[in-house]
Chain A
Amino acid sequence: MTLDLAMRWTEILLALALTIPTLEHITAGDPRERLLFMLRLPLLVLLAVAPFPSLTPWVCLTLCVVAILALHRFEGPYNGGSDKMSLLILFCLTLAHFLPEPRWKELAFGYLALQLTLSYFISGWVKIRNPDWRTGRALQDVFAFSAYPVAENLRTLADQKSLLLAGSWLVITCELLFPFSLMSKWTLIPFLILAASFHLSNAIFFGLNRFVLVWIAAYPSILWLQARFIG
């Protein structure tokens, strides 16, 4: 995958990932919020379709400005990690478009791939260092009293100690092993499918639906990085 193709796929996937949240803000938000996100909608269409490719860098830059305005409006990200990842993707794309040298472009886009890798590895690292995660207690707590389970009957899963212990170690192991998947395209692709399934399960159990497409939007960067530097 070439850098240009990876960036183009990232633009299309990011536009898709941000369109539904944008429509949600337009339909359910207050007037100021609506105005801000109505501004974002045509920019996302331009990003996805790219009718004038020479304008795409400016579309990315304007989307960055809108994202900063949204950060001010909500005094931080509206939906935590998913907003942070979308902002990171936008900034890396914008930098990669505007930097003059091919190597600098690669550096900017490679930074996104690095952060994607870290997003899994560090999540695994902080978990394995916590005894509550190693014993399955943390995942029990997530189901027992956190704000995330989407229905009360899911809280009964907190009693399934063996299942949650196995689930905790599965998540920790996969997150820690993620960097090793870069060794080959044939290990990376299954890991990305596994990771996407993990985000999907978080959307089903915890309503974290905005994470799914945003994280997938960063996958072209890691596919490019693997092909470019490891092969």
Chain B
Amino acid sequence: MLRTLQLILPALIPSWNFFDVIAPSPRIEYTTCNGPDDTRLDWQPFRPRPEQITLTTMLRRLVWNPRWNESLFLVSCAERLSQDITPDHSAREITTRLRRDLALTTTASHFRFRLVFIHREGTEITSEVIYISAAEPIS
């Protein structure tokens, strides 16, 4: 009951402070390996955005955009994981989706993911790795 109230109250009494500060922005990266002892680290961006999108794609995505909306949810999960808010749930949600995507594209048996936070320091844009997962089986 208390948890339900914690979840509902931000909707019933919203803060509406959209983009009040531009916080460090998370990226999810992954590397594949063949078991927990395989320490290869060839980090790749997870679901990198395209260089550009066509007008047709843009119009279609105004209506139907499940993959992007899922990616935005994963951004929330990365932020929660970095702030130690429901970390197990957030890591599980990211792992599940990485596993689902990688099962279609790789023959490796395991993967790791990491969270890289990009932010501005003065005039420079810098990045910082703040989380690296354990090796997870792909299938």
Contacts and interface: CB of A to CB of B under 8 A. Distances in A.
Contact of A152 (B7, B25, B49, B72): B49
B74 to A, nearest CB: 9
B86 A75 contact: yes
B139 interface: no
Interface string A59-77: 0000000001001101111
A100 interface: no
A27 B66 contact: yes
A28 B20 contact: no
Interface string B82-110: 00001001100100100000000000000
B90 A75 contact: yes
A84 B14 contact: yes
A204 interface: yes
A68 B8 contact: yes
Contacts of A21: 69
Interface of B: 3-4, 7-8, 10-12, 14-22, 25-27, 49-53, 58, 61-73, 75-76, 80, 86, 89-90, 93, 96, 118-120, 125
Given A71-B4, A132-B22, 14 more contacts: A68-B8, A78-B69, A79-B72, A81-B18, A87-B11, A123-B17, A126-B18, A127-B20, A141-B22, A152-B49, A200-B62, A207-B65, A207-B68, A210-B69
